[in-house]
Amino acid sequence: MSPTALDNFINNEHVKPVHGHYFDTFDPARGVPHAKIPDSTKEDVDLAFAAASKAFKTWSKTSRVERARIMNKIADLIESRLDEFARAESKDQGKSVELARTVDIPRAAHNFRFFAGRILHSVDEAADLAGVGFSYSQRMPIGVAGLISPWNLPLYLLTWKIAPCIACGNTAICKPSEFTSLTAYMLCSVLQEAGLPAGVVNMVFGTGVGAGQAIVEHPRIPLISFTGGTVTGAKISSVAAPMFKRLSLELGGKNANIVFADCDFELALKTSLRSSFANQGEICLCGSRIFVERPIYEKFLAGLVQGAKGLKVGDPSLKDTNLGALVSKEHWSKVMSYVQLGQEEGGKIECGGQKPVSLQGEFQNGYFLEPTIISGLTPTCRTMREEIFGPVVTIFPFDTEEEVVGYANDSEYGLSCSVWTENGRRARRVASEIEAGTVWVNTWMARDLRMPFGGMKKSGVGREGGNHSLDFYSELKTICLAD
């Protein structure tokens, strides 16, 4: 079967790229092409901008009630096609169908429901300046937003951007990852069926160099939301900052998982296993540096290794599969290079580090890797400091609270951290000292969309979620009426 050819989605129509060029994207589990992606350029972005700019004139004046109605309809339609979206997400990204069905796709629908409700129940500020007048704030849509999303949680993170963007009255040009464009393409038919007006959301597929850079450099796109690597984020910032574009950058992470001896051992072990290897470790919030208090270190290491060896790697369509394939051959090679580096730096491979030999037949060329645990490294070595973004974690013992806080904070990144302890005072004390945008205590990946989300240091710029998303996607104006 020849690969499916996708087209751009501009002004509610499927449009071939201006120059007619496409490239292959691969099924990670089989290592074969399964779709052809438009190799879009500046000319395609210009067409999308013309459509989005025209649509902004009416969408920005559409009532919140009507915007919310359409967004809830989008959520309904995503949910009605749950299994179809989950299978496509798995084939495109390599993750298990079960993970996509229970996490990625439901959360994509929830993004639309949440922000549909948020705009109906948000309250702006008002103040009486006695003897002078009365002031109030007003949220104004900004214009055409450039939304660039990553390949690890494709539909989930794309809708995390689209939902608040259009809820606030903006229009959008979206550039999904060139590795995972299929569910974004499927979303286009959902937007049409839900009755979203033409030009409000446009999809321009392609590479970062071709389509992404054109979006960032466009002189009339005032807002950029990007999720991806820190190096790319720095390049975007260098272009966008002199143009005074509004920026939200969610970038890399090298997150610490701190396990104290007084933790709920079984819960900490079970959740650490999940936070290490969920989605093949291809989640920016995964806990890739595990620090364990010395009295329970050996026991915890043994339990973690046993648990990792019990995880099933293979056919993403099977319900009992825990880890699917890494997203691309290039990324698989990068992750494997860190496994080799870890050994060169003196680390011991406690388990994993290889492609499963049991995978043959249609999966023999897939980009699979066993869950890998490396011990014996120092906190300052590259393997423990650089983002790997795969099913590879390091584990290291510590003796004191002060020591482990120092280890956790000695990083260029600051996205998240998990702390495991039954001591409430210690939990609050450590959480307040950790330099990360999110600190989970005795849990992981508990996301509350009402709360701010973002990173510190090289993990990003800005906060989104709840009113923070409304602030980012709106221009706040103060109006003062004289007495």
Give, to the nearest 10 degrees, the angle between helix 82-93 and helix 182-194. Answer: 150
Could you count the other beta carbons within 10 Å of the beta carbon of residue 232? Answer: 20
Closest CA to 232 of 212, 214, 218: 212
If one counts every other C-beta atom within 10 angstroms of the C-beta of residue 380, the result is 10
SS3 of the chain: CCCEECCEEECCEEECCCCCCEEEEEECCCCEEEEEEECCCHHHHHHHHHHHHHHHHHHCCCCHHHHHHHHHHHHHHHHHCHHHHHHHHHHHHCCCHHHHHHHHHHHHHHHHHHHHHHHHHCCCCEEEECCCEEEEEEEEECCEEEEECCCCCHHHHHHHHHHHHHHCCCEEEEECCCCCCHHHHHHHHHHHHHCCCCCCEEECCCCHHHHHHHHHHCCCCCEEEEECCHHHHHHHHHHHHHHCCEEEEECCCCEEEEECCCCCHHHHHHHHHHHHHHHHHCCCCCEEEEEEEHHHHHHHHHHHHHHHHCCCECCCCCCCCCECCCCCHHHHHHHHHHHHHHHHCCCEEEECCCCCCCCCHHHCCCCCCCCEEEECCCCCCHHHCCCCCCCEEEEEEECCHHHHHHHHHCCCEECEEEEECCCHHHHHHHHHHCCCCEEEECCCCCCCCCCCECCEECCEECCECCHHHHHHCEEEEEEEEEC
Task: Report the 10 Å Cβ neighbour count for 246.
Answer: 16
460, two tokens: 């990003």
Residue 338, C-beta contacts closer than 8 angstroms, at least 6 positions apart: 383, 386, 388, 390, 392
362 is catalytic: no
Catalytic residue among 89, 98, 250, 464: 250
Helical packing angle, 64-80 and 154-167, nearest 10°: 160
Euclidean distance between CA atoms 318 and 346, whole angstroms: 37
* Cα distances (angstroms) measured from residue 273 to each of 278, 287, 375, 438: 8, 9, 15, 19
Indicate which residues carry an active-site annotation: 250
